Chains A and B, each alone.
Chain A
Amino acid sequence: MANSISEETMEYVGILAKLELSGEEKEQARKDMERMLEYIDQLNELDTSGVEPMSHISPLHNVFREDQVTNGDDRDAILSNAPEARDGSFVVPRTVE
């Protein structure tokens, strides 16, 4: 197979994607990805030398505005969606010892 993805690569992609897949699921994801990459490889038939990558379709430049506060204080409304909040803050598991 043209695109065999190693165990280590899958592990690395899992870290980047912040996903924890079970053993069986990991195997399935690896197969899915190999198939997708094989399919995507047909792009290599195209000669794109000298073609600039096009990230955006419109010739946009930086759009600037004055750095002024226009919205109100939504703190309580925003925190009301948090799985856990206390004293006007988000609560997360311990991050430092």
Chain B
Amino acid sequence: MDILQDTAAALGKRIKAGEVTAVEACEAVLERIRQRDQELNCYITVDEEGALARAEEVQRQLEAGRLTGPLAGVPVAIKDNMNTKGMETTCASRILKGFVPSFTAEAVGNLEKAGAVIIGKTNMDEFAMGSTTETSYFGPVKNPWNTAHVPGGSSGGSAAAVAAGECFYALGSDTGGSIRQPASFCGVVGMKPTYGAVSRYGLIAYGSSLDQIGPLSKDVTDCAMILEAIVSHDKKDSTSVALTETDYTSALTDDVRGLRIGIPKDYFGEGLDPLVKASVLQAVELLAKRGAVVEEFELSLVQYAIPAYYVIACAEASSNLERFDGVKYGYRAKGAEDLHQMYKRTRSEGFGREVRRRIMLGSFVLSSGYYDAYYLKALRTKALIRQAFDRAFAKYDVIIGPAAPTTAPKLGESLEDPIQMYLGDIYTVSVNLAGLPGICVPCGKDHRGLPIGMQIIGDCFEEKKLIRTAYTYECAAKEGGSHE
């Protein structure tokens, strides 16, 4: 009986039934980490002792009937940009090395209330800036399907850990595709919820108007269950929205009859790997056979999403990352003679190249004389992109396309040409600009055995439609055996 084959839902059930203990589950995951993480590098911190102690505590509470939720006792990994009280939180940056938060992010706290056992903190692109998890100060993560390839990013450690059985599920964050794209590359399910659905309190900010925490999981059922646990209205995050219909698991129905699916032609044009295209369209075909109404349409403005995104994200990052100045936490450069020099040296030595690049660009587009031409122009473009989605959702329940134009590239091939790397975000960034929810589900593999993901996009707070569509596809693929 291999515990690690279980989904989070299956394990949770077995723990509740007394067939497996939370401690056994925790030990199984830790053993897998010992076997594989030397090579994969999914984790920055593994809290072996703390996790086992917590598993014992959860087991006691389960037996006493104080914990009854479906995730109680299930081991989880948390992306290292979410604060965890008493557990080092680095954002994969030298500048935060050694930082031990005095509080816990709201979404993580929600999981703890549900009885989750936190195994550790996952590797990521430094400050979530990157698409490959190669900009981490702690070295790159490798794709469990083929270790010569990247896992995607920035939540690459979370996605790879789920795929490798180094946890049962994970939390990631998504600013321009950072949950959906690594989910696609690692063959797992990843969801970016609607902006405002999950509290950002305790998430170390990159682009505050775009950031959103979400689940990475083995299947759609787990995704719905995790989402149900982390969504909450939080007074500590003023952009958090009070939602009533958060019983996401009720949407796990194998039924898309009459569902209107829009296929944006501009998501299937030049630059898309033909194998990815074929896989996604085949998946859509399965949904059509299940009774969905599929239609092609022109979304428009797709090529403008990336430049608008980089202006807005970098502008917000340059402001958000001002707090890392060598005074309150983390790294401080030695030998500075005055305060200003200390700031400059600390930041120049503490931030990696991609982070410095984005802070510089963000400072530039916000500076007087350029603010209107770049920053306001990008915000106007964002408004147009949102309008394009509004028009689409007047006609369709969901929009389906690929999550990334290719499967996972090889390690070391992406960072040399930043614009080329940014282009890989073409199908994901507009979802963040418009604040929409998006889910990525595995829908095939390429000739090298690397996973392909299908992205389903919905209107704001229509997560249930995404879950229903993704779940139906999952059922159809299992039946048809066309998944592989």
Contact = CB atoms under 8 A, between A and B. Distances in A.
B480 to A, nearest CB: 37
A63 B199 CA distance: 15
Nearest to B337: A93
A64 B103 CA distance: 23
A12 B366 CA distance: 12
Contact of A80 (B100, B362, B376, B377): B100
B380 A53 contact: yes
Contact of B356 (A19, A60, A63): A19
Interface stretch (B117-125, B164-172, B323-331): B323-331
Interface in B371-403: 374, 376-384, 386
A19 B213 CA distance: 29
Contacts of B307: 39-40, 42-43
Given A19-B356, A53-B379, A95 B338 contact: yes
Interface residues of A, number: 48
- Where chain B touches its partner, the secondary structure class is helix
Interface string B179-206: 0000000000000000110000000000
Contact of B331 (A9, A14, A83): A83
Contacts of A13: 360, 363-364, 367
B359 interface: yes
A2 interface: no
A84 interface: yes
Contacts of A44: 377
A21 B239 CA distance: 36
A18 B347 contact: yes
B322 interface: yes
A58 B242 CA distance: 13
Contacts of B244: none
B383 A51 contact: yes
Given A35-B419, A43-B378, A84 B332 contact: yes
Contacts of B311: 40, 43
Contacts of B384: 46, 48, 51
Nearest to A54: B383
Contact of A17 (B318, B326, B345): B318
A36 B419 contact: yes
B310 A36 contact: yes
Given A13-B367, A48-B381, A18 B325 contact: yes
B380 A57 contact: no
Contacts of A58: 195-196, 239, 241, 435, 460
B102 A48 contact: no
B449 to A, nearest CB: 34
Given A33-B361, A48-B377, A57-B195, A94 B386 contact: no
Interface in A30-66: 32-33, 35-37, 39-40, 42-46, 48, 51-58, 60, 63, 65
Interface residues of B, number: 69
Q: Secondary structure at chain A's binding surface: helix, strand, loop or mixed?
A: loop
B241 to A, nearest CB: 7
Contact of A83 (B326, B337, B434): B326
Contacts of B360: 13-14, 17, 19, 29, 33
B357 A32 contact: yes
Residue picked from A17, A33, A39, A53, most chain B C-beta under 10 Å? A17
A54 B339 contact: no
A12 B327 contact: no
Interface string A68-86: 0000001001101111100
A93 B344 contact: no
A47 B217 CA distance: 41
A12 to B, nearest CB: 7
Interface of B: 98-100, 102-103, 195-196, 209, 235, 238-239, 241, 301, 303-304, 307-308, 310-311, 318, 322, 325-332, 336-345, 347-348, 351, 356-357, 359-364, 366-367, 374, 376-384, 386, 418-419, 433-435, 460
Given A12-B367, A36-B310, 19 more contacts: A16-B367, A17-B318, A19-B360, A29-B360, A33-B357, A39-B307, A43-B381, A44-B377, A51-B380, A53-B379, A58-B196, A58-B239, A78-B328, A81-B98, A81-B99, A81-B100, A83-B330, A92-B339, A95-B339
16 contacts: A16-B364, A16-B367, A18-B344, A20-B348, A33-B364, A35-B418, A39-B307, A39-B419, A46-B380, A46-B384, A48-B384, A54-B383, A56-B209, A57-B195, A57-B435, A74-B102
